[in-house]
Every structure is written in C-alpha cells, then in structure tokens.
Chain A
Amino acid sequence: MDVLRRNNVKVVGNPAGRSMLFAHGFGCDQHMWRFVAPAFEDRYQTVLFDYVGAGGSESAAYDPARYGTLDGYARDVLDICQALDVDDVVMVGHSVSAMIAVLAAAEAPDRFGALVLIGPSPRYTDDDDGYVGGFTSEDIEGLLASLDSNYLGWSATTAPVIMGNPDRPALGAELTSSFCRADPEIQKRFARATFLSDNRKDLARVTAPALVLQCSDDVLAPDSVGAYVHEHLAGSRFVKLQATGHCPNLSAPQETIDAIAAFLDSESGTRPCP
C-alpha cells in the first residue's frame, strides 16, 4: 500500500528544514491550510495530507472498523511519518486533528518535537462529572441529520464556479470537487468518531511541548475547553486569538501564522543543540 498516495500527501518547502505536518479537521481537507502553510515553506519542510475518506485521498482504503475511532486517524498520521521517515515533527492539528495529534504523539513520542493545537477539544459533549464540552448527544444526532439533509441538497447541484479575484490565484478545480464534500456515510462515521470521543485522559500521555491556540467565540471549542486542554497538557502554552469562529486558519491566517511562528521560535531556542 502506498501511504503517500492513499493520504494524498504533498511535501513542499525547505527539504533541509524541520518537518511540519499540517492536519485538517472534520469536514474539509488539506486546502484548509492554503493561507497558512506557505508562510513556513522557507524554513520548514511542510507536509499536507488528507485523511482517508476526505479530499483527494483514496476512498477505497476507507475501513469502517479502523476509522471508527480517532486512533485509526492517528494511525494515518503515524503511517505518513513512517513513509516519509521523518522525526522531530511539528504537528499542527486543527479542530479534531488536535486530539489526533495528541493520540499520535502519545503513541510515538519520538516522532514529534512539538504540537500546535488549534481549537482543541478533548470531548465535545458534556459529562456527568461536571465537564462542559458544549454539546449534548442529541446535538450530535442533529449534526448527523444535517449531513444527511445537505447531502440531498448538494447531490443535485453542479460543481460551483469559483468567484475568483484576478489578483488572487484561483483555487484549483480539484478544490471545488472535493473540499467539504465527501461520501456522506464516511462523513457521518467521522462525525461520530470525532464528536462522541473522549480523549481527556490522553492529554497526560503527551510529553512534547505544545501550543494551544484558542479562538474567540468558538462554538465548537469554547474558552473553558481550551483552558482545560492547556491545564492538562503539561508544559503547554496557551494563546488566545482575536480571531472568532472555529477556523482561524481561514478567517485570520496572519494572526495564526504569527502565533505559531512565535511558539516555534521560542520552543526551538530551548531545545538542546543537536
């Protein structure tokens, strides 16, 4: 099996630089990093990929048992690191990929030098023990229903035309066909794996230095959840962004880039020389 093809892996940037792996969240694909990843290409070897079932991945490789939990997605990440033979990786995980990064780093601590967690949540649903994730399991059923409704709604529409600005490079045609569009059955399974998981105990297993990037007014990962992650990730750093919503990598790319770069500069300054 060719992992690099299976996960549609794209390696660019500085081949001599430290590897920086960008992992997209639930719902979209590697194009999510379009405004952020290029800023790191001069110093880092940047790696982009799609999880199996998303974007340009090989959907035929989708195995419901493997991807029934986030561990299967963490396995994808470890497969990619192994295929590229990289270590001391900076893994940048957005949304659910923040917890996938936690799982991967807990599983193979030697692979990862630092984690950047954007909008992390170790558990999206509230728990009887007083933990507030922000959602109930009925809310998650509502999400699954809306995936169904929108599959019906979109199945009939043709590929949308890009409303490009001539000064901006047009987004490729492949984007319109894959971005935020995946097999609804796979999406629903990914949604269940994401929103019904509980990774609070996994936070303590991480030893790599980590940055928690918290957005303002993020309905998916409220401030209290970001604070929880910071508190339970030993030695992590917490930065609150001005950016609102759940996707600062799209809505406030520069602020996101600056925060990541500042963390990496200070973090690499404290690392022992090779």
Chain B
Amino acid sequence: MSVEEASPDGGFYTALLEDDAEELYDNAPCGYLSALPDGTVAKANATFLGWTGYDRDDLVGRRRFQDLLAPGHRIYYETHVAPLLRMQGHVREIAVDVVCRSGARLPVLVNSVLKQDDAGAPMMVRTAIFDATERRAYELELLSARRRAEESETRATALARTLQSTFVPPEILTVPGLDVGGAYRPAGDGSEVGGDFYDVFETGRGAWGVVLGDVCGKGAAAAIVTALARYTMRAEALRTPYPSAVLAGLHEVLVRYHPDRFCTALFAVLEPAAEGIRITGASGGHHLPICLRADGTFEAIGETGMILGMLDTPVLTDATAILRPGDVVVLYTDGVTEARRKGEFFDDERLCAVIAGAAGAGAQGIADSIVAAVLDFQAGNARDDVAVVVLKVQPNVDPIA
C-alpha cells in the first residue's frame, strides 16, 4: 500500500504510531524469549505465553527453556543445541517440541543467538520461536515416505536375490568321476535380477547335462525368460540326446513366446567313457568352454553356433571331446571376459592365468577364484552378472563303457 492511498484516512500514520518497539516485542508474529546463559527464562513475550498457556510468573526466573521441551527433545537440546550455541554463538532452525501448560505439544522451530561480553563470556541467550505445526506434519510425512521408500528398496532387493537364486542350483549334483563347482555373482549390489543362469542335472540315460546361459536384459521381464530357458532345456534334454537339438528346442520356445528376447547358451552332455569322460556339447552363440588339459595346454571345446531367439533358424553343431583325469573345463558368461577396468577387458588371457593358477584346487575352488579375480579386476563392483561352472575330472575314473 502506498503512502498516498493510506493517507486520506490516516491509517498509515496510525499503524506507525501503534507499532512501537514494546508492542512489536509482545505481539510479534513469533515467540520471543530472553534467557540467562544456563537457559533460565528472564523475559518472555505475549505471543509465546499465548501459544503455550504459561503465565509469565510460571517461567521468569523459574524455568529453563530446555525444561519446557519434551523429554527426548531435552536430550537433543542438551547434547547438540546447547554445545553448538556455546561454541558458535548461534543456532538456527532447531526443530523441537515445547510442552504447553496443558500438556499438549507445540512443534516449533528455534533460532537462538548467544550474546557475549567483550571477553567472550556468555551474557544472555535471545531466542525466537516459530510455530511449526504444519511444517512438522509435512516433514513427518516426508520422513515416513523416505522410510517406506527404503523399505520397498530392501524388499525389491530381497525379491531379486530370491528370484536369482532359482536360476542356479542351490547345490550342485554329484556326477560320478567329476568334481563339479559353480559360482554366481550378481552385478552391482544385486538389487536387480540378471539374466545369467546355469544348471547341472541327470538326463536319464546314465548321462548328465550341464547348462550355462545368458538371457539378454535385466529385471523381471528378463527373469521370466531365464526361468523358462532353464526349464525348457531340462525338458528338452529328456527328449533328445543331442545338445544341438536341446538348444534348437529352446530357440523355438523363445521365438514363439518371447520374440523380443534372445539368449546365448551352452549345453553339454557328460558320459563316462573308456578313457575318461566324454563331453558332447553345442553352443548357441555363447563363448566356448575353455579346457585346461592335465599337461598344461589350453583348448576351446566345441564349435560356436548362432544366438538363440533371433528370427533365423540357428545353425548349431554338436562336437565331442574326451576329458581325462586332471582336465579342467570352465563354462562362463561374458561377465567374466568382458569385465572392464578403464577400457581394458579381463579377457581370455587373464581367465586362463587364473585357471592355471587355481588348477590344483577343487572345482568349486577354481570357480570361486575366477569370480574373485573378476571382482578384484573391477575393484569389487561387477558391472555385469558373472556365472561360472567348473568341471574337473577326478583322478581315478572307473572305465564303464
């Protein structure tokens, strides 16, 4: 309002005269307290008394400001606010509850300034008090929203881990003549379901099947396909002895039911043979297994086929090799060789070095060493899932066939 507008009825000047210092102090739109350094109230304005219901005589010379606070807030005041006020000379926006004369609680925000003498000794504390009832209610809502968000995050992570745990067998089956180990590590903090899976099972013809694969994508949608892939391969392996046919079966299912998803996978059949263990496998666009022979040489087993779930019918080829006592075969997902550190890949050479270094251990020990090395390479934070299955032929295989 401008002076010109207010002047005709004299309201402007009336307002100026009315609002003298004392009037302003008592009826200010905030509570106002003056206190001794120990908090004992020396002066309180009418606004504060009106809000809290106390008489001036209840407070002045009798109560300390902190005595008016709810007990828990009193602890906060004594352990945080009072030291801070003494050390830095002021505090701002302290949220506490004042207990009114009626016992009701008034949520307030408090600003205090410590007046010191020339030598720095505390003389008095001036405190402005703001009614913060609605702000506090809003803050409580924010806090409970944050708490709910934290809880659902925890739940989502637990759910992802549970789901993921169904993609790898809880305990690896015992295969005669073979020591089998498996290891899995989710990307990051494991809060999202990845697409890596593996499995070891008996196919029903005196043979065992080993599966390791990677469905593209992450999250719930990919998890559905991962579960489907795992069970489809188990079912197909009972129907046909040819690994390429098992993978082709998976391809058909993917194309029909999940045309937007594709997958890479290895499937191998293991059977006892005269010289050791016969491995017959096929790859649907997946890295070939690495074999460390007992004599120290490395070789890849099998032939790379085409990725599964794309429109074209994949070309898949079965290949056979004989594993002898001491041989180690490693199946792995791209989370191993494509682990990155400053643009540098973990790669096959590092993988071979880790396998060679750990070859004396059991299959599980070798699998754990690989995952540990990959994690270490990425400073503990895997950017992609890592899955590894290790087969180690035991020294004395009974020749059956």
Contact = CB atoms under 8 A, between A and B. Distances in A.
B120 interface: yes
Interface string A178-195: 011000000000000001
Interface string B12-47: 000000000000000000000000011100000000
Interface residues of B, number: 42
B88 A153 contact: no
Interface string A114-131: 000000000000000000
A142 B72 contact: yes
A157 B78 contact: no
B73 interface: yes
Interface residues of A, number: 49
Contacts of B122: 251
B38 A220 contact: no
Contacts of A160: 88, 90, 92
Contact of A217 (B64, B94, B96): B64
A26 interface: yes
Contacts of B338: none
A135 B86 contact: no
Contacts of B228: none
Given A150-B94, A219-B67, A34 B76 contact: no
Given A142-B70, A142-B73, A165-B120, A220 B79 contact: yes
B39 A153 contact: no
A224 interface: no
B78 A143 contact: no
Contacts of B92: 157, 160
Contact of A245 (B39, B84, B119, B120): B39
Interface string A138-149: 111111111111
B96 to A, nearest CB: 6
A251 B37 contact: yes
Contact of B74 (A32, A141, A175, A219): A219
B87 A34 contact: yes
A118 B86 CA distance: 18
A245 B72 contact: no
Nearest to B74: A219
Given A141-B72, A146-B95, A175 B80 contact: no
Nearest to A124: B75
B224 interface: no
Nearest to A244: B38
Most buried by B among A168, A176, A245: A245
A195 B97 CA distance: 20
Interface in B128-150: 136, 139, 142-143
Interface string A152-170: 1110010010111101100
Contacts of A251: 37-38, 82, 86, 122
B116 interface: yes
Contacts, number: 130
A230 interface: no
Interface in B113-172: 113-114, 116, 118-120, 122, 136, 139, 142-143
Contacts of A25: 79
A136 B71 CA distance: 9
A111 interface: no
A140 B71 CA distance: 8
Nearest to A182: B80
A6 interface: no
Given A167-B120, A220-B79, A154 B93 contact: yes
A220 B80 CA distance: 13
Given A146-B95, A217-B64, A135 B78 contact: no
Contacts of B67: 219
Interface string A89-101: 0000001000000
Contacts of A146: 72-73, 76, 95-97
B264 interface: no
A136 B87 CA distance: 30
Contacts of B89: 162-164
The 7 closest A-B pairs by CB, nearest first: A142-B72, A27-B79, A163-B89, A143-B72, A139-B71, A149-B95, A246-B78
Given A148-B143, A153-B139, 13 more contacts: A31-B87, A135-B72, A139-B72, A142-B70, A146-B97, A153-B109, A154-B93, A165-B118, A165-B120, A171-B88, A179-B87, A246-B79, A250-B86
26 contacts: A27-B76, A28-B80, A32-B83, A34-B87, A95-B79, A136-B71, A138-B72, A139-B72, A139-B75, A143-B73, A150-B80, A160-B92, A162-B88, A163-B90, A164-B89, A167-B118, A168-B120, A176-B88, A179-B88, A195-B75, A219-B74, A245-B39, A247-B82, A247-B83, A251-B37, A251-B122
Interface of A: 25-28, 31-32, 34, 95, 135-136, 138-150, 152-154, 157, 160, 162-165, 167-168, 171, 175-176, 179-180, 195, 217, 219-220, 244-247, 250-251
